[in-house]
Amino acid sequence: MKKKLFLAAAAAIGLFILLELGGLALEIFVYSKSGGETLAPGLQKKTSAELERRNKANRTRLRECRPYGLYVVVDTAANRLSLKKGEAVVREAVISCGSGDVLDEPGGTRRWTFDTPRGGFAVQSKLVNPTWIKPDWAFIEEGEKPPSDYNSRIDNDSLGDFALGFGDGFFIHGTLYTRLLGRNVTHGCVRLGDKDLKYLFESVGLGTRIFIY
């Protein structure tokens, strides 16, 4: 008996909701002469104004976020770099980004993850014939003990002819391993071939924005 009463009550509530929704729908929607549905005049005006207000606000936000002038876009998954001006692509290049590999220090507590950072950055430095001061992980990776002699860390060849620094020791630079371009093999920096690197270096200035994803 209780189950029957419960089912009857549930059915009544469901019917009430359907009737209420139906009544609301009849109040909001009216049929146009062409047979299509449209909002009732008063509601249509109010809704259109609200939508236009929101669209205007969104367009303003988009304009504020849209890059202007030259900027660099790096796709770490596809290993592609684009130099863009507004929506136009000025130049595209095949690159190499971080491998994502993890290196643990044998018998130590340090760990390095070789990822290219994602986010918004800017060109902070422009170097010609850059010198790489090899960090500890560069030796540990090769199974060597990091040297105490500073001069043993100097490498004048690995970064190529130019380098664009974008913070925290990360650079867009050249490579000795052009055959590996298009693959995720770096320790976090972005590697470019000689011609593309030269073009990029000569095109951008300090403060040029870099977007990496």
Residues forming the active site = 173, 189
Give dist(CA 187, CA 112) in Å, integer.
9
Identify the residue whose tokens are 């207000």: 53
Q: Do residues 100 and 184 lie in contact, with contact meaning Cβ atoms separated by under 8 Å?
A: yes
Cα 49 to Cα 3, 4, 28, 38, 55: the distances in Å are: 50, 50, 16, 16, 10
CA atoms within 13 A on the CB side of 101: 10
Three-state DSSP class for residue 57 = helix
Q: How many angstroms separate the CA atoms of 181 and 189, rounded?
A: 13
User: Residue 141's closest CA among 168, 101, 97?
Assistant: 101
Are 181 and 191 contacting, i.e. CB atoms less than 8 angstroms apart?
yes
